[in-house]
């Protein structure tokens, strides 16, 4: 494990967003979805690619709150310009489980 300083950690903008659209990312090399995530009025809607196809369907993702990094520079993933990184953990079988809040949180709220 590599240690980072508190100052380095505070630079990472982890925010709550709500998935407002999800579709299969047909052009992706590995199975993935294109997610449109609403982070509220300050940040708006941002796009992301998420390899969460094993545990979720697009229909199950719409309306779900997620935790995402919103201050990485945009990244080109095939034809998609990803604007945020939706976070998750690998389960025992290697499938990604989304990182989500335990309750309702206002969109755009920053992790403390």
- How confident is the model over 55-73, as pLDDT tens digits? 999 999 999 999 999 999 9
Q: Which pLDDT band, with edges at 50, 70 and 90, does 112 fall under?
A: confident
Report, at the CATH architecture level, how domain 6-97 is classified. Beta Barrel (2.40)
Q: What is the pLDDT of residue 20?
A: 98
Please say whether the beta carbons of 84 and 70 come within 8 A: yes
Confidence of residue 87 (pLDDT cuts 50, 70, 90): very high
User: Would you place residue 25 in the very low, low, confident or very high pLDDT band (cuts 50, 70, 90)?
Assistant: very high
HSE (side-chain half, CA atoms, 13 Å) at 46: 28
Sorted by where each begins, the domain ranges of the chain are 6-97
Three-point CA angle 69, 71, 73, nearest 5° = 110
Q: Residues 66, 86: contact at Cβ < 8 Å?
A: yes
Please provide the DSSP assignment of 30-86 as one string.
Answer: SS-EEEEEE--TTT-EEEEEE--TTT--HHHHTT-EEEEE--SPPEEETTEEE--EE
């Amino acid at each position: 494990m590599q240690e980072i300083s508190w100052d380095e950690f505070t630079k990472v903008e982890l925010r709550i967003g709500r998935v407002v659209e999800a579709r299969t990312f047909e052009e992706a090399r590995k199975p993935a979805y294109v997610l449109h995530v609403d982070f509220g009025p300050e940040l708006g809607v941002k796009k992301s690619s998420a390899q969460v196809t094993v545990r979720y369907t697009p229909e199950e993702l719409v309306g779900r709150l997620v935790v995402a990094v919103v201050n990485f520079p945009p990244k080109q993933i095939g034809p998609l310009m990803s604007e945020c990184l939706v976070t998750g953990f690998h389960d025992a079988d290697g499938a990604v489980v989304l990182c989500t809040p335990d309750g309702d949180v206002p969109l755009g709220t920053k992790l403390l």
